[in-house]
Structure 1
Amino acid sequence: MRYKSMLSARGVTLLMFFISIPFSYSQAKVLEIEGVIKDEFDYPIPYVAINVKGTYIGTSSTEEGTFYLALSAENLASTLSVSSLGYESTTISVKDFLALENKVIVLKENVTTLSEIQIKSPDYYVKESLKRLKSNTISDTHLLKLLYRRASIEDGTAKFLVEHYMKVLDKGPSTSTVKKIEVAEGRKSADYRIAKDKQHSHAINYMVNHNPLRRGFAIKDFNWKKTGDTNYDGEDVLIIEGRKGKHNFRRFYIGIDTYRIYKVETSVSNAVFIYKKNKEGKLYLSYHNRAWNKPREQKLEEHTRKIMGKNAPESVMVAFRQEVYVLGLETDKKNMNIKAFGGIGSDMGDVKVRYNPNFWRNFSMPPDTKFFKKIKKELKDNFGVPLETQFQFASKTLK
């Protein structure tokens, strides 16, 4: 299987940190690793897991196959492990990768043909994978460090963006909720919304609730069938899809031998959840995005329409686009430093967290995905001002 995949109007003048950073041996002894994962036909491969073997350090590639890792000089002798659904896994030493003239890692497609005799009923694999979810994932308390982005959409265009760097204390997808959440850093774009649509709590709560592994569902209510097969890290993987009606579906990528769930796709908010292995072979969340595929109509308040004038619309169509990058994993309880955050019960845009420009300036930002590039372009077009500049002027600076 292959994946081809108002401010300026009022005269206010607003004059990714990561764009393209060549690797360097800096005085801080940081190895900045960036490259592209492609197949044999020169197509980029999305959602590839890139890990430093024997550690919890890793990342995933974007839809365009690009990836970035910030390593210490001690990792120069380490080995990168590269694996993706549908491709043969490979390894390359950090030193050899840095020596490449073109920072490209090529994966060979692994064509899998499974005999139907080997295959049990599709719903059996779903039931068995959910039964083994706790043993196949990190189910002990662990800390995830993640970048959470949420864009507010009005009439199909991004009008406001919030980014939070968060720490999440979790016990994995076999539990219905996370244990503790901290919003450690945050920043906002200029706000061009007219409807000001809000969620009832922080968006991460919706991410948890929209995950069918956590939320649960009635397997018997879906019509299950095998829609394809692929492989991951040497294991044959079945693609099992369940449908309930015309538009409601759940799609699982399940290891035929281990019953590990490597990927989940769902019609609920058009969401995708990508999981990858730690060094013990246990799975944990690596990447997630979702976008409302059915925007809803929201009427404008009367005072807003008066300000806008006689041509003001009565309502706008509102939605959200969201993206989550898991940037780090910590399993040693001694290093799970997290502060309980009291603002999770309010909309993400209302969370009171000061903007610390020094943090974002030094933050190892993952490469921009297509998902995020679209948001950045729309936000820039609203003002004619780059998003980075909007962050500086619209966010409340740390004092």
Structure 2
Amino acid sequence: MSLIKKISLHFFCITICLISFNTFSQKTTLKGTVYDELGNTIPYAAVGIPKKQKGTATNDDGVFSLELSAEDLQDSLQVSSIGFKTYKIKVQNYLDKKIKKIVLIENVVTLATITLEKPKSYVKKALKKLKKNTLSTKHQSNLLYRRSSVENGKTRFMVEHFLNVLDYGPSDTRFDEIGIAESRKSADYRFAFKKQPVHAVHIMGQINPLRQRIYESDYNWERIDDTSYDGEDVLVLRGIKKNQKRNKQKNWIKFYVGMDTYKIYKIDVSRYASAKAGLKATYIYKKNRDNKLVLSYHNREARFITPISEQKRKLLKLKNKNIVSSYRHEAIVLDIENNKKKINIKNTVYDKKDIGDYNVKYNPEFWKNISLPPATKFYKRSVKELESIYGVSLEEQFKAVNK
């Protein structure tokens, strides 16, 4: 073979390799909205490719955004939500659709004629099978965590952390380790400055009924609804805490339990210390490629009474000695790594201090390039209120405050 032919062949091979590399490294962002048959959007639906552990959840407007690679285009996209039949479509076929709209069909469940176990029995078995039904081996959850500090009805400070969380699943009482990989804060316009004693993600774990090691016998259980998830009939079971003082607000938890597998797909929590102070929280789990449940989304709002000094009351023209404040929290799990060799916790947190008091170097390029989920109503509201206080965009606040 002549030298010219060898050189030509060499460059041809390099070109083919580069084309192949670019094809498979190219990213594609799937966007769309999930609706029911009546045209209502469906919040917190699981969207993804379970066998590859790639997925996300719709926001509270039913909108999703999912970044995939070219090698995922022939895989099946799966959309699941409690109360609806699971929807499947090839990724490439979805991309070819002109209207990026997914409609889920309601899965009508009628269990009235079926002899069921007592509600307490389902809860007992669900808790007993918790370790079997959830991802309970060592893994890393990479999640976006947001907390807004609300004082006197308005957001006055917000912090966002991209966290690496080392975990063994909800059958364990706590997270093993957390790292703040990236961070950014808004300008701070608080006047009450209430602090939490640990990072807020630890509290997310501490108040999860599955991690509290609750006893089903401490609650009076009742079946309040029937629904479905991914082809399985699901019972909605509410437990009201026993021996509560007589008041209008009751402390309760609600489990969405699969009839066949006893998997807990969703949890709602409601606690009240008084008419003005209390907590409401939601945990949503989805299946991974091994059919184990992993946390997908969490939100909560904790309301409390905060005393204000006389000096601040005069300065802010407030009439009451106390104001109603709250923390609005949101955690969105972006991906999970269960390959022990790839687990990497960055900037491990050992201090016990408020989420807003951690100082991590601000990396604007990270926040610019990361594929974030669509903004939720929670986030939009916080942004709007923060921008109205300062008269400048949140992005400009990030640049000015974070160093």
TM-score, length-scaled by structure 2: 0.87
Alpha-carbon distance in 1 for matches of 2:94, 2:232: 26
Give the conservation status (yes or no) of the 8 Å contact 2:50–2:288. no
Where does residue 257 of structure 2 map in the other structure? 254
Where does residue 8 of structure 2 map in the other structure? none
1:117 deviation in Å? Answer: 3.6
Q: Secondary structure at the match of 1:120?
A: coil
Where does residue 284 of structure 2 map in the other structure? 274
1:299 deviation in Å? Answer: 2.5
Q: Please point out which of 315, 323, 342 is paired with 1:316.
A: 323
Where does residue 217 of structure 1 map in the other structure? 214
Alpha-carbon distance in 2 for matches of 1:238, 1:311: 47
Q: Show CA shifts across 1:29-51 (max 9, x none).
A: 11011100111111111111112
Alpha-carbon distance in 2 for matches of 1:27, 1:51: 19
Where does residue 15 of structure 1 map in the other structure? none
Alignment of 1:13-24 (within 5 A): none
Q: Please point out which of 309, 314, 338 is paired with 1:300.
A: 309
Q: Please point out which of 115, 119, 122 is paired with 1:122.
A: 119
Alpha-carbon distance in 2 for matches of 1:124, 1:311: 51
Q: Please point out which of 334, 356, 364 is paired with 1:357.
A: 364
Q: Show CA shifts across 1:277-334 (max 9, x none).
A: 0011100100000001x421223385x568x377786443322000000000111111
Give the conservation status (yes or no) of the 8 Å contact 2:24–2:70. no
Give the conservation status (yes or no) of the 8 Å contact 2:137–2:169. yes
Q: Please point out which of 72, 76, 96 is paired with 1:75.
A: 72
- The structure that has the greater radius of gyration is 2
Distance 1:310 1:167, change over 3 A: closer
Alignment of 1:40-59 (within 5 A): 40-59=37-56
Alpha-carbon distance in 1 for matches of 2:136, 2:24: 39
Where does residue 295 of structure 2 map in the other structure? 285
Give the conservation status (yes or no) of the 8 Å contact 1:300–1:316. no
Alpha-carbon distance in 1 for matches of 2:383, 2:23: 30
Q: Show CA shifts across 1:54-76 (max 9, x none).
A: 21110011111100111112212
Q: Secondary structure at the match of 2:52?
A: coil
Alpha-carbon distance in 2 for matches of 1:309, 1:359: 38
Between stretches 343-352 and 181-190, larger displacement belongs to 343-352
Q: Please point out which of 149, 156, 160 is paired with 1:159.
A: 156
Q: Which runs of 5+ in 2 are unaligned?
A: 1-21, 272-278
Give the conservation status (yes or no) of the 8 Å contact 1:194–1:300. no
RMSD in angstroms over aligned alpha carbons? 2.0
Q: Please point out which of 379, 385, 392 is paired with 2:392.
A: 385
TM-score, length-scaled by structure 1: 0.88
Alpha-carbon distance in 1 for matches of 2:316, 2:153: 22
Give the conservation status (yes or no) of the 8 Å contact 1:180–1:340. no
Give the conservation status (yes or no) of the 8 Å contact 1:273–1:285. yes
Give the conservation status (yes or no) of the 8 Å contact 1:343–1:351. no
Alpha-carbon distance in 1 for matches of 2:72, 2:59: 23
